[in-house]
Amino acid sequence: MSPETLVPSLGTAPTSFTPDDFDQYVMSTYGRFPLALERGEGCRVWDTNGREYLDFVAGIATCTLGHAHPAMVEAISQQIRTLHHVSNLYYVPSQGQLAQWLVEHSCADRAFFCNSGAEANEGAIKLARKYAHTVLGIEEPVILTAQASFHGRTLATVTATGQPKYQKNFSPLVPGFHYVPYNDIQALEQAIADLDQGARRVAAIMLEALQGEGGVRPGDLAYFQRVRELCDQKGILLILDEVQVGMGRSGRYWGYENLGIEPDIFTSAKGLGGGVPIGALLCKSHCDVFQAGDHASTFGGNPLVCTVALAVCQTLEQNNILANVVARGEQLRAGLRAIAQTYPHLIQEVRGWGLINGLQIADDSDLTSVAIVKAAIDEGVLLVPAGPKVVRFVPPLIVSEAEIDQALNAVRRAIASLL
């Protein structure tokens, strides 16, 4: 009997499955918008009622090539028919090819693959701690991270995250982290001096090149260059979290390229697989201190996800998509600034790189990011908050000029509807 005969209805969702049914079986860990999506193509998605939306969320900066891109469809279709998972007990050729592409298109020398950004950052924390103990001889290593940062939801990465709202009720948190203001070099230098006492020393500084969840706040060039100098002078590792801003979203492959520096360690996920779950920890050879048994991931780097991620990487390169990111990002920011000029009492600032941009609502305004997102849904565009006062725009990197204009017009109508 064929598999089709055994499971004729697999993949067909019951149309009568309501939000109440959903909430009966799924944990309430998300504040979901009242929308159920079932199909996508390019930069557009359709809900279960057949309504079309422009997707400027892209799985939260994840669907690099949009939805149902032919390169991804082909890669997934071929690989699932061949071999999808074997574990890391054996060599996985596509994993090696993906690692080669990432190394050749970055400052890294080695790669480790996992399943998510949180896992990649967890691996970076472990790598930094082992380096601190075995190379630097630090008994109590401290990792500096930034206030308003976001590094993940595991216990270590939520501790690294400099936002107390994510840590509430999860104590005791993992020791060995200290927070400093983002883009404030004096505060960073003072923290290094204060923390270097006896057995305790700063072993690593972990930052986002651009803070995504913290309000789409780009790193300051002079700040990051001074951070790099301090790390070189004191033997501190510089870790950059590129989970959201990497893989071309900034208009360059990696966010750090906008800052004129190179990290010792950086992480990637989200856009790496174009929506297929994969994360990567990348490092330079001098801090590659992991040995067999130190770290692992059962699903990490399996043939299916690596084949798809490699297709995403090659498509980015071969189709010159970074040029589109730069052009469409400039168009989007210009349009958002025009909206800000129309509502100077409501909109405080427009900021971002490439196709990760934020619309900052004035602090003294009653308007919220969630209100704008809900109004934009009514106008046929999906957006995502980045805090209570910032609306984030992260469309697929293949977005067209016409789609940017359509989204901007929808945002204008959405804001007007709230006044």
Which residue among 56, 112, 113, 150 is the active-site one? 150
Question: Residue 173 — left, alpha, or beta (φ > 0 → left; ψ -120 to 50 → alpha)?
Answer: beta
**Residue 66 vs residues 37, 72, 135, 298, 320: alpha-carbon distances, Å:** 14, 10, 43, 28, 15
**Residue 341 vs residues 43, 64, 292, 365, 410: alpha-carbon distances, Å:** 27, 30, 57, 15, 16
Residue 190 Cα to chain centre, angstroms: 29
Greatest alpha-carbon span in the chain:
70
Q: Which of these, 280, 281, 245, 217, lies nearest to 397 by C-alpha position? A: 245
Which residue among 56, 113, 130, 270 is the active-site one? 270
**Residue 89 vs residues 15, 296, 302: alpha-carbon distances, Å:** 42, 10, 11
Altogether, the residues listed in the chain come to a count of 419
21 is catalytic: no
β-pairing, 381-382 vs 52-55, is parallel
241 is catalytic: yes
196 is catalytic: no
Which residue among 56, 130, 177, 241 is the active-site one? 241
Is the sign of the CA dihedral 402, 219, 249, 361 positive or negative? negative
Structure tokens at 101: 């592409």
Structure tokens at 115: 């399943």
Instruction: Just list the catalytic residues.
Output: 150, 241, 270
